Amino acid sequence: MKKTLFLSGVFSILASAADVRGPAPTFTKHIAPILHKQCATCHRAGEIAPMELVTYEQARPWSAAIKEEVLLRKMPPWYAHPDYGKFRNERRLSQQEIETIVAWVNAGAPKGEDRDMPAPPKRATGWSLGEPDLVIPMPVEAAIPAEGRFDYQYYYVPIPFAEDRFVEAVEMRPGNREVVHHSIVNIVTIPEDKRGDLTNGKKIGTTQWKLVGQAPGKGLEQHRPGAAKRLSPGMYFEFNMHYSPTGKAEKDRTLLGLWFSKGPVQHEVITKTISDVVFVGGQQVQKRPNIPAHADNWEIIGHMPIKDDITLYAFAPHMHLRGKDMKYILERADGSQQVLMYAPKFDFNWQLHYELEEPLKIAAGSKLICIAHYDNSLNNPYNPAPEKEVLWAEQSWDEMFSGFIEYSIDGADVKKPVVTGDFRRRAKQ
């Protein structure tokens, strides 16, 4: 039924485009503004897309592929369902934009008049916000083998400050996009007896909080005025790197860019994942069940009790190759529920960050619920081994359940020292 409705929608767009009256859309007047606004973030020199789509000469050979991708809503990548939540970084094409692109391609992809061509979009080359206040490189250049299993690599850099500093924006830039699948920088503590070698790729740190994540489609996190993330002296930046061998030996040295807060900080931003793991007295008493072989709709549900009034800023669903969908639900103290964000077609190749258009106030006593489904069957074309039970681990062929959120605790005093080993900063301690 869903497939029929989807195809019906595609055919209606084609019919609408075919019925366009008057001159056909041209690249310079109609298509370039759409591509510059919605596509050139990635489809320009030095960025992750495999081709540039800024000029007519660049876009014309790809016109048929552009039409197909926008009709299927594969491009630009955006997986939040339009009925749930409004997002300030939304990249979804409007119906009119899709119809204009289809009509342009159907008309033979005409160029139009040069005088109608808009100026190329002014975007910083390299770093998204221009040169950072401070750049922290990985302490060594990583060497990635041509093939085979390559476990996550961990590299550590001491935080070079004598007092707490706050950053209003953070960005990770891979040194070699061909081999970096995704990466994370965490703020961690390291016991004194393990600080001898920070560059051998082994995990030695204990995570205190997540600073930023990078994956296809994301890498920059820019917080709102007055909100920022903390960097504390005595702790370390942990580069958590997931490399994918490409068939030839590769090297990478990823960079971390920091922009310090320019004004007073009222809210400390925290990144945490809603988990289905239950702890009692500090002990884990329930583990995530592994996905059985051939299960086509395996469900995992996580709960996060809200113990203080909080302000919610963003979502970042994370699963692996068998991930199908993920939904975030707010359950208030009175039992009423509201879907905050729903990604009905999760795509492992695009790990996106969804920023709410307006931050959401959530009262203490509420609960955040995260529901995800997984397809470990033959129907999943990305499934490497449907005949095997899937374990919860870090490799792409394993699985994860990480419903990341960004939030701050209302009323928390940002001048208080960080509580070591706790992702939450309580408003009153």
Using one digit for the tens of pLDDT, what is the confidence trace for 239-292? 999 898 889 999 999 999 999 999 999 999 999 888 765 544 455 546 666 899
Q: Which CATH number fits domain 124-263: 2.60.120, 1.10.3470, 2.30.30, 1.10.357?
A: 2.60.120
Q: Does the pLDDT value for residue 236 go beyond 80?
A: yes
pLDDT of residue 256: 97
Q: Does the pLDDT value for residue 11 go beyond 70?
A: no
Q: SS3 for 7?
A: helix
Residue 9's pLDDT band (boundaries 50, 70, 90)? very low
Q: Domain spanning 266-423 has what CATH number?
A: 2.60.120.230
CA-to-CA distance for 257 and 260, rounded, in angstroms? 10
Render pLDDT for 338-389 as a digit per residue (tens, 0 to 9).
999 999 999 888 888 899 999 999 999 999 999 999 999 999 999 999 999 9
The full set of domain ranges for the chain reads: 2-116, 124-263, 266-423
Contact by Cβ (8 Å): 32, 100: no
pLDDT of residue 158: 97
Which among 151, 307, 363 is positioned nearest to 243, based on CA atoms?
A: 151
Domains 124-263 and 266-423 are alike in CATH topology: yes
pLDDT of residue 228: 96
Contact by Cβ (8 Å): 250, 221: no
35-53 per-residue burial string, b: 16 or more CB within 10 A, e: under 16: bbebbbbbbbeeeeeeebb
Q: Does the pLDDT value for residue 80 go beyond 80?
A: yes
Query: For the chain, what is the mean pLDDT?
Result: 86
CA-to-CA distance for 258 and 254, rounded, in angstroms? 14
pTM: 0.83
Rounded to the nearest 5°, which phi and psi values hold at 69? Answer: -65, -40
End-to-end CA distance of the chain: 54
CA-to-CA distance for 327 and 373, rounded, in angstroms? 9
Render pLDDT for 101-150 as a digit per residue (tens, 0 to 9).
999 999 999 999 999 999 887 765 678 888 999 999 999 999 999 988 78
Give the mean pLDDT of 184-199: 92
